[in-house]
Structure 1
Amino acid sequence: MARIPYRTVEDLAPENKDLLKRGIALHRALVNSPGGARAFQGLGQYIRYGSKLDPRLREIAILQVGWLAQSAYEWSHHVKIGMDFGVTESDIRAIMAGDDAALEPRAQLVLRAAREMVAGPGTSQATHDALAAEFDTEHLTDLILVIGFYCAVVRVLASLAIDVEPDYQPYLDRFPLKDK
């Protein structure tokens, strides 16, 4: 159960009702701070709709973060979202098994960058150099923003104990976390 209340559109001032266009549990919790929710959603919207980074690679990076953090919410949501953007069951199983060799070299590099950033403090010089050889600076920057943002997201989810919604539970059941 979440540690703070889930809000509804009815709980919000008129100027903040748009914050619950997607009534997912995370957003329903974050609107306890409308300004914080707006800032959070702004970067999330850029990552999903504005970035030119390949969406499959973006989702592979997010899935790696969610898997490493063992974040049921993030994992279940991005298994579904990832599949919508071309992530395959084989890709998901490879992430779960830590089998980078099952993926193409670019995806392997994205997974490596995500692992290094989760472990902290950031990517190594060798990984940065490999990324710079594969991606132009805009795509490289966006990849680092994606990974960094989702490192923060999983910490917010865990700290607020955000619940997995029933619509996403089947993804978690199909691709369970290690300790589940």
Structure 2
Amino acid sequence: MARLPFVTREDLPEELRYVWDRNAVGREVPNIFRTMANNPEVWRAYLRLGNGLWNHCGLDVGTRELVILRTAILHHSQYEWHQHVRIGRQAGLSDAKIVALHHWKTSDLFSEVERAILEYVDAVNASGHPGQEVHDRLAALVAPGTLVGVNLLTGFYGMTARFLSAMEVELEEPFVGWQLNG
């Protein structure tokens, strides 16, 4: 059970109800946002940063989702994994490639650029400071702006995973499963 009450649209100040309306999926707002909306100004700022990272991180949608899904794995975030499996599939990622993120180092499903990105994601999540070789490998393959985007996207979803865990935000649907069996 979530540690905070779920906010309703009516709980929000009138001037911020548009944030609710823009983030409703069908008629529902995901539990993560209903929890964050306990602080509506911070929720709006979170969404603005997230949208900026999604749209300007320098990655195509599928690669962006690989970064988010790998971060979900590293933080054991069922909520992020569950949500972004769906988004990754919509972006054209196969279930085999999504599951291979658990063991990407031994998989042949990833390109050289994807492998460098995943190595960087692992390093950021492990210590916050990728070693020079890891940095240089990615920097040789992507533009500086993309490297900034990968770094900030990884940090943003690490922060999101910590929020979800600390607030015990529940999934809206049964968990898809780490191996996509569910």
User: Under a length normalisation based on structure 1, what TM-score does the superposition of the two structures give?
Assistant: 0.89
After TM superposition, the structure 1 stretch with the greater mean CA deviation from structure 2, 100-109 or 139-148, is 100-109
Letter in 1 for 2:119: R
Partner residue, 1:77 = 83
Q: Which runs of 5+ in 1 are unaligned?
A: none
Contact 1:19 1:31 in 2 (8 A): no
Note if contact 2:57-2:148 (Cα within 8 Å) is conserved in structure 1.
no
User: What is the SS of the residue equivalent to 1:102?
Assistant: coil
Mapped contact 1:100–1:111 kept (Cα < 8 A): no
Match of 1:152 among 159, 170, 178: 159
Partner of 2:122: 115
CA positional deviation for 1:71 = 0.7
**Does 2:168 align with 1:161?**
yes
| Maintained 8 Å contact 2:116/2:138 | yes
Match of 2:73 among 59, 67, 84: 67
Runs of 5+ in structure 2 lacking a partner?
24-28
**Structure 1 partner of 2:31:** 25
Partner residue of 2:176 out of 151, 171, 175: 171
Instruction: Give the total of aligned pairs.
Output: 175
Kept in 2: contact 1:100–1:108 (CA 8 A): no
Cα RMSD, aligned residues only: 1.9
Find the aligned partners of 1:175 and 1:3 in 2 and give their Cα distance. 27
Q: Distance in 2 between matches of 1:57 and 1:90?
A: 15
Match of 2:110 among 103, 107, 115: 103
Structure 2 match to 1:15: 15
Q: Distance in 2 between matches of 1:63 and 1:174?
A: 12
Q: What is the Cα deviation at residue 138 of structure 1?
A: 1.0
Distance, in Å, in 1 between the alignment partners of 2:169 and 2:85 is 17
The Cα shift of 1:133 comes to 0.4
Q: What CA deviation, in whole Å up to 9, does each residue of 1:110-163 have, x standing for no partner?
A: 111111111112221111101110111111111111111111110011011111
Instruction: Provide closer, same or farther for how the CA distance between residues 73 and 170 of structure 1 changes in structure 2, counting only shifts above 3 A.
Output: closer
Over 3 Å counting, the alpha-carbon distance change for 1:97 and 1:131 in structure 2 is closer
Contact 1:80 1:171 in 2 (8 A): no
Q: What letter corresponds to residue 28 of structure 1 in structure 2?
A: R
* Local SS of the residue matching 1:74: helix
Compute the TM-score of the two structures, normalised by the length of structure 2.
0.88
Counterpart of 2:141 (choices 98, 113, 134) is 134
Instruction: Please tell me the residue identity of whatever aligns with 2:67.
Output: A
